[in-house]
Amino acid sequence: MAQLVKTLTSLEPIPWDGQPIKNPGIYNGIPIEAYHSGEICVEPSISSSHLRKIYSPHPQVTASPAHYWCRSPYNPERSVEDDEESKALLLGRAAHHLLFAQEDFRKSFAIRPLTINGESCNRVTRQGKLWHQRQEDAGLTIITQDQLAAIKGIGRELFKESLVQRGLLNGNVECSWFWKHASGVWLKIRPDASPKDSLNYVDLKLTRSIMWPSLQYTIRDYGYFMQAGLVAMGVKAITGQNLETFSLVFAENTEPHCIEIVTFKDGDIKRGVDACEIAIAKFNKCWVEKRWPGPRGDREEAQWIEMTEFDQKRIDEQIVLDRK
């Protein structure tokens, strides 16, 4: 154990020099926009969130190369997130900045006041328009008073948890990890906090409900087991060690902002690794062929479809009743 701690503590983050990454390692000082850009590495790179858009092993989860490509940083005609997704991503990003005590919060975000000089601060009034324009010119992301209140409520409940008080979320905040896969593509992860003396990784997630079935569906639908798998791959590639644990801290994004903390079992992390490998292979194939097919793939013919046996039975029974 002493040797393990020595090995880990020697992995101090490398200050980013603003140039594309060409050496594997753990870097700090990379803005989130640069991390997600197509120029962050000297060759194509992909993160967990994008691998999850390319592939899901669950038949009820929508994913395909086409779903990735439509918002890929490499697509010059990429679309933007829909409004609801943008709001969720914004709240999560702002929460990470505030809750993990990142010093650059005020350098990244502006809190919208309710009024300015007696006028409502919106995009309709003269004062509101001027205020929004100044924030955008400064490159700041705007969050509302309600969003700030939600983040504070999450923090209030989060830091009541004994595991959090004992340092569950401690570590180097949002460092960026990069390594090159055997296939040639660069992989990247950005843990909320990179532990300095262990191989136990934790990520904060905002959710609608922390009830157990809801969390199980959330882990399936958002592919968080694949995120765990990619973290395991990154830890192995960069530290030479095996991941010990991967946990998620779930916080409800509305009052009462209840908290649940869960740790993945090894089997689900292994499923995540296997799914990531398939997604990486799909990415490489599409990159080479310059084709990004949807779920239909290369199939040319139509498929037979029928209702589920349960629905067929119910309809048949109702038809018999209605004929009487």
- Sheet containing 193-194, strands listed edge to edge, beginning at the edge strand earlier in sequence: 172-173, 193-194, 200-207, 245-252, 259-263
Q: Considering the chain, what is the average pLDDT of its residues?
A: 89
pTM for the full predicted model: 0.86
Q: Which amino acid is at 217?
A: Y
Place of tokens 């973290």: 231
Q: Determine the Cα–Cα distance for residues 313 and 305; give it in Å rounded to an integer.
A: 16
Report how many domains make up the chain. Answer: 1
**4 against 255, higher pLDDT:** 255
| Residue numbers of the domain that contains 68 | 2-297
Mean pLDDT of 256-283: 97
Question: What confidence category does residue 147 fall into, taking pLDDT thresholds of 50, 70 and 90?
Answer: confident
- With respect to residue 309, please indicate whether it lies within any of the assigned structural domains: no
Q: Is residue 237 in some structural domain? A: yes
pLDDT tops 80 at residue 16:
yes
Distance in angstroms (rounded) separating the CA atoms of residues 180 and 141: 32
Mean pLDDT of 22-33: 91
d(CA 291, CA 75): 12
pLDDT of residue 1: 28
The CB-side HSE value for 32 (13 A sphere, CA atoms) comes to 20
Question: In the sheet where 25-28 sits, what is the strand order?
Answer: 14-15, 25-28, 176-180, 186-189, 45-47
How much is the average pLDDT of 250-271? 96
- Nearest C-alpha neighbor of 268 from the set 243, 238, 234, 240: 243
Q: What phi, psi does 274 have (nearest 5°)? A: -60, -40
Highest mean pLDDT among 110-114, 195-199, 307-311: 307-311
DSSP, collapsed to helix, strand or coil, labels residue 172 as strand
Q: Indicate whether 180 belongs to any domain.
A: yes
Query: Is 176 among the domain residues?
Result: yes
8-state DSSP, 125 = S
Q: Is residue 312 part of a domain?
A: no
pLDDT digits (tens, 9 = 90+) for 171-223: 887 789 999 999 999 999 998 888 887 889 999 999 999 999 999 999 999 99
Running DSSP on this structure, what letter comes out for residue 228?
A: H
Q: Does residue 85 fall inside a structural domain?
A: yes
Rounded to whole angstroms, how far apart are CA atoms 239 and 303?
47
CATH number of 171's domain: 3.90.320.10
Contacts of 29 (CB under 8 A, 6+ apart): 15, 16
At 8, the pLDDT band (50, 70, 90 cuts) reads very low
The upper half-sphere exposure of residue 159, i.e. CA atoms within 13 Å in the direction of its Cβ, equals 10
- In terms of Cα–Cα distance, which of 48, 29, 27, 47 is closest to 37? 47
| Cα 201 from Cα 192, distance rounded (Å) | 9
One-letter identity of residue 71: R
In a domain, 306, yes or no: no
Does residue 308 fall inside a structural domain? no
Please report, in angstroms and rounded to a whole number, the separation of the first and last CA atoms in the chain.
77
